[in-house]
Amino acid sequence: MIHTAKRLTGKDPVERALTLSIAASSLAKGVLFGVSALFFTTVIGLSPATVGVGLTIAGAAGMATAFGAGYLADRLGAHRVLVVSTVTQGAALATYCSAASAAAFTLIACAAVGAQGAQRTAQATLAVRARLRVVTNVFVGLGSAAATGALASGTATAYVIAMVTASVLVLASAVPLRGLPSPPETIALPGAAPAGRDDRARSPLRDFRYLGIAALYGIMSIQFGLLTVGMPLWVTLHTHAPATTVALLLVVNTVLVAACQMPAARLVTDVRAAGRTVIVSSVFLVLACVLYAAAGPLSAVLAVVVLILAMLAGSAAEVLSEVGAWSLAFDLADSRNAGAYQGISQTGFAAGVMLAPAVVTGTCLARLR
């Protein structure tokens, strides 16, 4: 049993702390995926369009913190940035329960999404491995399954309990991070010559190829808004499928992503392969959107079947786009300025997160109300 636990958490102290932390925070993420959009519309009483605007504004905060966290990670240590951002996010999630207006919701969302942007950059700077992504998706799946109870109940009390639970889990995920070791300091030896121009770290802001890839990553990242905002609202408001289908689809997604993550990572052997993988993922994403739309007028049983097919295509898009994007983000980055480069990459992701709610709620969902 102890040997199995060590295999799951890893031998390296950084990987062990990150694995335990990611497991707890991913449980919270799974719960949020299932209930957050419905909490905002049912408990707070916001319209889908208002939720989209508020989360879009919060996404701008996430862009800023993702970018700034990269430079802070290089100077203060990624582990410190990760602890602070995790605690901030947990506190913000709990505060959602006190939101009584669109303005309050937007301010809280800025804190929550902003903290998440800094958190992702810090995690990426410390370590991103396919195995940690598997841990993420397994526990997101468990959290999504746990959200089924709240979805089946459909009451404001159940949604509030789910949100508070997510907050507690995120705060708990900060506990293992206390064990992260401080990064080794670089000590200048007496009499050592200053580094030459060729030894200076490259700035990601002058690396136009990397900036372009980050922008494309942002466009592909809109798919996560489709999963967490668009899909729950589409299923519950515009199909005949039962509300519990949302949790079912999220579990299907996380199981598939967890099972396919490492095999898919082996397909990406170089930068060219990574680029091809991202292109293929976009085809699957278009197919998923078409299938979601097709489920609208169908009976409950047929709608569930088509929605599952849509989730299969969406999961394939997620796996392929992520493994391709990770490879490009790390293989093309300057290791001497890792935090800043990952900050740019995560800024692209945050841009997609910012645009996704407005794109999803302001297009098909707005037209069908």
List, in order, residues 6 or more apart from 324 with CB less than 8 Å away: 268, 274, 275, 276, 277, 278, 281
At the fourth CATH level, the homologous superfamily of domain 9-181+204-367 is MFS general substrate transporter like domains (1.20.1250.20)
Q: Are 166 and 53 in contact (CB under 8 A)?
A: no
- pLDDT given for residue 32 in this prediction: 87
Place of tokens 């800094």: 118
Of 43, 34, 31, the residue nearest 104 (C-alpha): 43
Which amino acid is it at 144? S
Place of tokens 């990406």: 268
- pLDDT given for residue 198 in this prediction: 46
- pLDDT given for residue 63 in this prediction: 82
H/E segment holding residue 94? helix 78-95
Q: How far apart are CA 102 and CA 45, in angstroms?
A: 9
Q: Are 174 and 83 in contact (CB under 8 A)?
A: yes
- pLDDT given for residue 232 in this prediction: 86
List, in order, residues 6 or more apart from 90 with CB less than 8 Å away: 167, 168, 169, 170, 171, 173, 174
pLDDT along the chain (369 residues), means of 10: 46 75 87 85 87 85 85 82 92 91 92 89 70 72 80 85 92 83 44 44 79 86 83 88 87 82 79 88 93 91 95 92 81 74 81 79 62
- pLDDT given for residue 138 in this prediction: 75
- pLDDT given for residue 100 in this prediction: 85
- pLDDT given for residue 364 in this prediction: 64
SS3 243: coil
Q: How far apart are CA 71 and CA 79, in angstroms?
A: 13
Which amino acid is it at 12? D
- pLDDT given for residue 203 in this prediction: 76
- How many CB atoms are located within 10 Å of the residue 263 CB? 11
Q: How far apart are CA 187 and CA 207, in angstroms?
A: 28
- pLDDT given for residue 197 in this prediction: 42
243-258 b/e with 16+ CB inside 10 Å = b?
bbbbbbbbbbbbbbbb
Q: How far apart are CA 343 and CA 74, in angstroms?
A: 10
- pLDDT given for residue 196 in this prediction: 43
Q: How far apart are CA 267 and CA 270, in angstroms?
A: 9
- pLDDT given for residue 4 in this prediction: 43
Place of tokens 């990150």: 18
**Helix axis angle, 156-172 to 78-95, nearest 10°:** 160
SS3 182: coil
Token pair listed for 233:
């609202």
Place of tokens 């997620």: 318
List, in order, residues 6 or more apart from 32 with CB less than 8 Å away: 93, 143, 163, 166, 228
Token pair listed for 205:
């802001």
